[in-house]
Chain A
Amino acid sequence: MSTLLEVNDLVVRFYTQEGTVYAVNGVSFDLEEGETLGIVGESGSGKSVSCLALMGLIPSPPGKVESGTVVFEGRDLLTLKPDQMRLIRGKEIAMIFQDPMTSLNPVLTIGTQITESLKLHEGMNTTQSRKRAADLLDLVGIPDAYRRLDDYPHQFSGGMRQRVMIAMGLSCNPKLLIADEPTTALDVTIQAQIIELVKQLKDEFNMAMIWITHDLGVVAGIADRIQVMYGGRIMESGSSHEVFRDSRHPYTVGLLGSLPRLDSSGEEKLTQIEGSPPDMRNEPEGCPFAPRCDVREQLQLEKCWDERPPLETVPDASGAEAHIMSCWADIREGVAENV
């Protein structure tokens, strides 16, 4: 496997009337071909913005990619001109969004919407593209596909609309599919349908995938690697087994502790993370999690307030996998495990 995508020190800010929003503050990660990366974080953690930035979809103004590189197959996407980027977006990298109702155009038939990218990127004519669109709808499990090409989005249910979005995303055989909370608006039984579908199609199309979510349960089932974000920074990253079974960062530990489990009777009290997520209008000097961190409080670490901890590799159980995290406590004292 070779590296498909390399994101280096990405910084994104929004200059609004209410001040500068420090949305993404130095995010670096890479993605292998065919790999699934799960990005987990709460609202405002910068998980969606960092992916919009690599698609070149940050609205500007007010947004601005301040620095960083996004290297996709040897090219830095951030330096491309808009028309060059347009050839990549939808063709090489496709994206599916959270709310299938607002991301489909309500006044165009879904046939028109799916065939648009086929005509643009693949140079197909109407007959060819309609046939391909029907095949795609069939592939994502929409019955009576050819006839439904002429239906409008409101004639589909939420789950069916998300299937249409997936069909659009897959239409040009992308190498990378970015899914931004694709199942958050759906019920659990429909979520299970969509997850099964995406898993199966991912193997069929041999795509790499970035799955953005706030639901730790969802990524546990699909991601090879997990990256936990907070306050526009990566807190911890590693194989999903490492991150869930041997979590090191106080935030990840706290997050997992605060989740009740379906498979155990919940007698004991949930451990809670005190305080609330950071206001992104203040540039965090040190670790963004410092105000809520119980490890910092226990150890009375002053450094957490003043200096950003670097992302460093921590030795894991097997020693083979890369487990990366950004925390002063673990690096210096090796205490996060005992919390």
Chain B
Amino acid sequence: MSSPAMVADERKTRDGDDYILEVSNLKKHFPISSGIVFQRQVGAVRAVDGISFNVIRGETLGLVGESGCGKSTTGRTILQLYRPTEGSVKFEGQELSTMAGNDLRQMRRRMQIIFQDPFASLNPRMTVGSIVSEPLQIHKMYANKQERQQYVEQLMERVGLNPYFINRYPHEFSGGQRQRIGIARALALQPSFIVADEPISALDVSIQAQVVNLMEELQDELGLTYLFIAHDLSMVRHICDRVAVMYLGKIVELGPVDEVYDNPQHPYTQALLSAVPVPDPVVEDNRQRIIISGDLPNPANPPTGCNFNTRCPVVFDLCYQEPDPPLIEVRPDHYVSCHRVV
């Protein structure tokens, strides 16, 4: 049996893919402190608890799971918006977790983020033009103001916003248009990697397809790599090449998206997929649902043994005794962490 990090290394030597991002044994624990004058740490929320995966250049990797499973924390820790508690994040071969200051700022030009809530992630007092050009100012690109404005107008046009609105404020736009502003801001520095943190879940159904299609077009055109964080499993199947399923701070299953959706191996993935409703009454009438009971355990106090043992329909002795096994390759490129599968 090999550790998750070693599994990742084996993959690299085997298929020789060009990895834009290599994450190994990444942990992010948030301290819980108590005391008013003398603060001391009484515990930790293990938001991300030892995950390893790689992202291939040009692909879209989906990160799915329920709320509280640590998927957003993973995205933010990769970008060093949170500093990792442990583990390594290598972006284009360079270690980010020990990098700081100007070096890190230079790296940020190549990796950007699109946030979930287009209402909260845009400063209401800034015009669209200044929101989109702020990254350019910080990184001192386009010293000439006129050139910068021209570039911003180009960007706005590219994401489907009328450049005529460059001096308008966010509240004058609808949700879908605001998300386009967020995308333009992320693209401004011409990054190669974008973390999309639930970019469509705050949008109306008829607007979601517009934004997803735009993201796909931009990927083809600019050769972008996405880490697509979402809880909408149908959309993940549509947009992603590979998918990682997270549960309570750990990856339980990872593989090519059609493979994982058609042959889910982990009992959590099976339950998760069977819970997603399909907009077709004929399919719905004939579906067998796996209903898992209970709620997500508290990540500050995870169960001993496998994390999923409190809700797992096929739990047995070993699951309570041994911590969850490392990711094992069950089919080509398809990794699962489960005592049943080993």
Contacts and interface: CB of A to CB of B under 8 A. Distances in A.
Interface of A: 42-43, 157-160, 187-193, 195-196, 214-218, 220-221, 240-241, 244-245, 254-256, 258-263, 265-266, 269-274, 276-277, 292
Contact of A261 (B174, B279, B282): B279
Interface string B255-282: 0011001000000000111111111111
Given A221-B277, A276-B177, A277-B206, A269 B293 contact: no
A274 B176 CA distance: 11
Given A159-B295, A214-B205, A261-B279, A189 B176 contact: no
B318 interface: no
A269 B216 contact: yes
A192 B284 CA distance: 12
A272 B209 contact: yes
Interface in B309-341: none
Interface string B227-270: 00001011101110000000000000000011001000000000
A261 B284 CA distance: 12
Contacts of A218: 277
A158 B296 CA distance: 11
A187 B258 CA distance: 22
B69 to A, nearest CB: 9
Contacts of A266: 237-239
B213 interface: yes
Nearest to A215: B277
B289 interface: yes
Given A187-B231, A255-B205, A270-B212, A263 B278 contact: yes
Contacts of A157: 295
A236 to B, nearest CB: 14
Residue from A193, A263, A292 having most chain B Cβ neighbours under 10 A: A263
Sort chain B's interface into a size bin: 35 or more
Contact of B176 (A216, A240, A255, A276): A276
Residue from A196, A214, A265, A276 having most chain B Cβ neighbours under 10 A: A276
Contact of A189 (B210, B271, B285): B271
B208 interface: yes
B292 interface: yes
Contacts of A273: 206, 209-210
B284 A221 contact: yes
Residue from B213, B233, B284, B287 having most chain A Cβ neighbours under 10 A: B284
B222 interface: no
A243 to B, nearest CB: 9
A187 B239 CA distance: 21
Contacts of A259: 205, 209, 234, 279
Contact of B275 (A42, A192, A216, A276): A192
A148 B276 CA distance: 30
Nearest to A254: B206
Contacts of B206: 42, 254-255, 258, 272-273, 277, 292
Interface in B27-47: none
B115 to A, nearest CB: 19
B121 interface: no
Nearest to A276: B174
Nearest to B284: A221
B286 to A, nearest CB: 11
Residue from A188, A196, A270, A273 having most chain B Cβ neighbours under 10 A: A188
Interface of B: 66-67, 174-177, 204-210, 212-213, 216, 231, 233-235, 237-239, 257-258, 261, 271-285, 287, 289, 291-293, 295-296
A260 B293 contact: no
Contact of B276 (A214, A217, A254): A217
A163 B26 CA distance: 36
Given A196-B291, A270-B209, A270-B212, A188 B238 contact: no
A36 B29 CA distance: 46
A245 B237 CA distance: 22
Given A42-B206, A188-B275, A273-B209, A262 B233 contact: yes
Contacts of B205: 42, 214, 216, 255, 258-259
A265 B233 contact: no
B278 A261 contact: yes
Contacts of A277: 174, 204, 206-207
Contacts of A270: 209, 212-213, 238
B282 A245 contact: yes
19 contacts: A188-B276, A191-B275, A192-B289, A214-B204, A217-B234, A217-B276, A220-B278, A220-B281, A221-B281, A240-B281, A241-B281, A254-B206, A258-B205, A260-B237, A262-B237, A262-B261, A272-B213, A273-B209, A276-B177
Contacts of A276: 174-177, 207
Contacts of B292: 189
B282 A190 contact: no
B209 A244 contact: no
A237 to B, nearest CB: 15
Given A266-B238, A277-B206, A220 B277 contact: yes
B279 A216 contact: yes
Given A188-B231, A221-B277, 16 more contacts: A159-B295, A187-B66, A188-B275, A190-B66, A192-B274, A214-B205, A215-B277, A217-B276, A220-B281, A221-B285, A260-B237, A262-B273, A269-B213, A273-B210, A274-B210, A292-B206
